[in-house]
Amino acid sequence: MKRIILISVLLFYAVIANTQIPYTPAPENLKAREWFQDAKFGMFIHWGVYSTLADGEWVMNNQRIDKQTYQKLPSFFNPIGFDAKEWVSIAKSAGMKYITITTKHHDGFAMWDSKLTDWDIVDRTPYGKDIIRMLADECKKEGIKLFFYHSHLDWFQENYFPRGNTGQSSGRPDSGDWYKYLDFMDGQLAELLTSYGDIGGIWFDGHWDKKKSDWRLDKTYNLIHSLQPACMIGNNHHLAPFPGEDFQMFEKDLPGNKTTGFNTEQEIGKLPFETCETMNNSWGFNLQDKNYKSTKNLIQYLVKAAGYNSNFLLNVGPMPDGRIQPEFVNTLGELGKWMEKYGETVYGTRGGPVSPRTWGVTTQKDNVVYLHILNLEDPNLLIPDFGVKVKKVTSFSTGAQLKYRQDAFGIAIAVPADIIDETDTVIAIEL
């Protein structure tokens, strides 16, 4: 009898251990999600030793540089122009509320003082300082939330084996212990979440390199949430969200548009959204990439994202000397001026009652719906009725009341020529 009881107890625990407990976000995590959705605009920073080659963050893979050769790069990395204060001030004056920085990109190089490897900025570069520490301190001082981009994919670690679709020319042996790699990754994440204060979120990337592998995401996600329950997890796997995630990102695309080719399987979930985009065509510093997006284009991208109920994370790839290139700084300054005037129609809003159209998008805060007209085709705009009585329609920039009619056919609004702004004509509908 005793034996039967013992076996039953053991069986019970074996079942419990293998049962996945559904993820219930902590109250502080739900609060963080609200904050995130209100914040709307963040700065993405791709920076690493690859910037010395001025050919983007994929240079190790694209130029087929083996690991031995790539290890020369840290000795060229001496960013004496890096000033955390300057970066945070550029982000703040652009109207950005948070920063997401690459702690480790696919080359595996740690931009903080990792105790688990010497493949890091403090141990390998003449600069020898922990830029994550300096940035974290400055962000805290200035009220900017800090998020960490962290690459699952690693072209440097030998235990990242079997290898995935990329990093094939890194010259690593054809053997390695995958679970040791995952332990190492969890260890590095634990360092990042226990030494740099409150972290807004972890922005994973690179899962797509080995989609079929056992990534042990539950363990990693549980670790993050147990160390910092409010820390939001997002994973750029280009799929529908996995359990344990707190936001969903869309790379170079608006939620659901599936225009990039690599996100055809990406279904929209119920989590807060974030769209990320580059200011030229590169994430990491690229000397030859002069395809700078105009201020108008970027404002319209930000506004469209808001209309899709999404944040906008705009990337800069700082130069090897640590400065953000002047072309980006100028454009960000112009975005900041626009946000000073129109921020009210973006911050704290959610996607409005009329879904995105060819003429533009809507956002809403409390009893005000903002029409963002990005491409007006006719002097009168007819929008579908959304079932609430309109009290007043005004031009957001001039305050002038506009003529409108609300009936069974929808809401028709007269848009006079003198309020038209070719970047974004904002109309406020008071309900």
Contacts with ligand FHN, residue ranges (CB under 6 A): 46, 57-58, 205, 236, 251, 276, 283
Ramachandran region of residue 222, left (φ > 0), alpha (ψ -120 to 50) or beta? alpha
CB of 153 to ligand FHN, least distance (A): 8
- Would you say 231 and 239 are in contact if contact means Cβ atoms under 8 Å apart? no
* DSSP β-bridge partners for residue 99: 43, 146
CB of 150 to ligand FHN, least distance (A): 11
Q: Which is nearer to ligand FHN, 58 or 160 (CB)?
A: 58
CB of 249 to ligand FHN, least distance (A): 7
Compute the distance between CA of residue 114 and CA of residue 187 in angstroms, rounded to an integer.
9
Q: Is 89 exposed, middle or buried (0-12, 13-18, 19+ CB in 10 A)?
A: middle
CB of 46 to ligand FHN, least distance (A): 6
Q: Which is nearer to ligand FHN, 276 or 332 (CB)?
A: 276
The total number of residues written for the chain in this structure: 431
CB of 418 to ligand FHN, least distance (A): 41
What is the helix, strand, coil percentage profile of the chain, to 5?
Answer: 35, 20, 45
Give the dihedral of Cα atoms 395, 398, 401, 405; nearest 10 deg: -20
Q: Which is nearer to ligand FHN, 36 or 203 (CB)?
A: 203
The pair of three-digit structure tokens given for residue 198, joined into one six-digit string = 């409150």
Compute the distance between CA of residue 174 and CA of residue 156 in angstroms, rounded to an integer.
13
CB of 57 to ligand FHN, least distance (A): 5
Compute the distance between CA of residue 89 and CA of residue 139 in angstroms, rounded to an integer.
9
CB of 431 to ligand FHN, least distance (A): 37
Compute the distance between CA of residue 315 and CA of residue 313 in angstroms, rounded to an integer.
7
CA–chain centroid gap for 75, Å, is: 30
Compute the distance between CA of residue 31 and CA of residue 246 in angstroms, rounded to an integer.
11
Task: Tell me the residue nearest to ligand FHN as measured from the CB.
Answer: 251
CB of 59 to ligand FHN, least distance (A): 10
Q: Which is nearer to ligand FHN, 319 or 419 (CB)?
A: 319
Q: Which is nearer to ligand FHN, 44 or 342 (CB)?
A: 44
Q: Which is nearer to ligand FHN, 25 or 42 (CB)?
A: 42
Cis preceding linkage at 353, omega within 30: no
Q: Which is nearer to ligand FHN, 236 or 266 (CB)?
A: 236
Q: Which is nearer to ligand FHN, 206 or 360 (CB)?
A: 206
Which residues, 6+ apart, have CB-to-CB distance to 427 below 8 Å? 370, 371, 373, 393, 394, 395, 396, 402, 413, 415, 419
CB of 47 to ligand FHN, least distance (A): 11
Q: Which is nearer to ligand FHN, 46 or 67 (CB)?
A: 46
